[in-house]
Amino acid sequence: MTVKALESVADETGYLSAADGYTRLHITSDRKPRSVDGLLPRSRRGWERG
């Protein structure tokens, strides 16, 4: 869900602007991400190591 929110406010170049509201965006092979190129998974214990 976070990627959809970020991509909803990205312009054609990938620049993000503040906005509020809802999105109906679907990331597909026809509509690839512009601003997000990876995700960092959060472990069960948060951001700590180990």
Q: Averaged over 13-20, what is the pLDDT?
A: 90
Please choose, from the candidates 34, 29, 27, the residue with its C-alpha nearest in 3D space to the C-alpha of residue 11. 34
At 28 the pLDDT is: 84
pLDDT band at 40 (very low <50, low <70, confident <90, very high): low
Q: Averaged over 29-48, what is the pLDDT?
A: 73
CA distance 29 to 17: 24
**13 against 37, higher pLDDT:** 13
Angle formed at CA 6 by CA 16 and CA 46, multiple of 5 degrees: 120
Whether the pTM exceeds 0.75: the reply is no
CA distance 38 to 3: 9
